[in-house]
């Protein structure tokens, strides 16, 4: 049976992380993996994408940042309401706080020292602005800094350092066992 996985992510930084870290895991389990950026798309276009994914009987995950929501449960409820009936709770993952927290979670102590950034054991509350302030001056841009982190990224370190990343990894393992 031909298996497809679609991952809907907010923007470029999310896609870069998924392409470098998550896609290799998924490609071992699915025949086709598609990562789609939905930032800038209309709600109707997002709904159409979800409809087409379901029409193909494809698996999917919908990723969203916590943003200004007070908790993951409230943010997930908001997303489910916005995209009902197409979006399902078991396929919705909220990044706590923003995707930059996942980048930082994947850097172990040695790489933090080599990069010249502080060791942060739990990155759940790291925001984009906090992440950008950590960037060493030797990097020309945040994109370059992120690319260097992805070159060093360790899944086990990220899983231990960020609860929402660990949650996604658990979901991916559960999906793998269902197959």
Q: pLDDT (tens digit, 9 = 90+) per residue, 20-78?
A: 999 999 998 999 999 999 999 999 999 999 999 999 999 999 999 998 899 999 999 99
Which tens digit of pLDDT belongs to each residue from 93-111? Answer: 999 889 999 999 999 999 9
pTM of the predicted protein model: 0.92
Domains defined for the chain, CATH in brackets:
4-95+163-178 (3.40.50), 100-156 (no CATH)
Per the structure block, which two tokens stand in for 119? 């060791």
């Amino acid at each position: 049976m031909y298996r497809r996985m679609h991952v809907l992510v907010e923007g470029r930084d999310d896609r870069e992380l998924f392409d470098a870290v998550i896609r290799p895991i998924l490609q071992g389990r699915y025949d086709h993996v598609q990562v789609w950026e939905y930032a800038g798309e209309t709600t109707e276009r997002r709904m159409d994408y979800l409809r087409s994914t379901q029409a193909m009987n494809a698996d999917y995950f919908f990723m969203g940042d916590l943003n200004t929501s007070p908790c993951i449960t409230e943010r997930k409820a908001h997303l489910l309401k916005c995209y009902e009936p197409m979006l399902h709770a078991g396929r919705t993952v909220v990044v706590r706080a923003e995707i930059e927290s996942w980048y930082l979670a994947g850097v172990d102590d040695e790489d933090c020292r080599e990069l010249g950034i502080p060791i942060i054991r739990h990155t759940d509350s790291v925001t984009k602005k906090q992440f950008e302030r950590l960037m060493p001056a030797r990097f020309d841009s945040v994109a370059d800094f992120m690319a260097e982190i992805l070159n060093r990224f360790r899944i086990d370190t990220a899983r231990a350092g960020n609860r929402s990343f660990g949650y996604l990894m658990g979901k991916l393992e559960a999906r793998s066992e269902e197959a």
